[in-house]
Amino acid sequence: DIQLTQSPSTLSASVGDRVTITCRASQNVDSWLAWYRQKPGKAPKLLIYAASGLESGVPSRFSGSESGTEFTLTIDSLQPDDFAVYYCQQYYTYPFTFGGGTKVEV
């Protein structure tokens, strides 16, 4: 299985900050990587697909990029709604796998 390693596991930030989360794949996933935001007790919400595609309805402060097997989620100007846990997921090969998550906290 492809392992996805997210860093950091926890990130302390304030409203208005620029935040960067990294996801490193154990092998090639091409660009088939997605990012999700999850709030307590809720299902994950798709933010980014295909490494850098912004999902419809998602604010433009979210962006994704890639460099080889390293992927980055950036949140420009963190909003109160953004304090949550973020996950990456690869869907390049079965079984699809998720990263361990990054908690963005105050």
What does the binding site for another protein look like in residue numbers (CB under 8 A)? 32, 34-36, 41-46, 48-50, 55, 87, 89, 91, 94-98, 100-101
Residue with tokens 């595609």, as numbered in its chain: 53
**CB of residue 4 vs another protein: minimum separation in angstroms?**
10
Other beta carbons within 10 angstroms of residue 100's beta carbon come to: 14
Give 25 or 48: the residue with its C-beta nearer to another protein: 48
Give 35 or 62: the residue with its C-beta nearer to another protein: 35
Q: Residue 84 half-sphere exposure, CB side, CA atoms within 13 Å?
A: 20
**CB of residue 16 vs another protein: minimum separation in angstroms?**
28
Give strand ranges (E) for the chain: 4-7, 10-12, 19-25, 33-38, 45-49, 53-54, 62-67, 70-75, 85-90, 97-98, 102-105
Give 14 or 60: the residue with its C-beta nearer to another protein: 60
**CB of residue 50 vs another protein: minimum separation in angstroms?**
6
Give 2 or 17: the residue with its C-beta nearer to another protein: 2
DSSP letter (8 states) at residue 32:
-
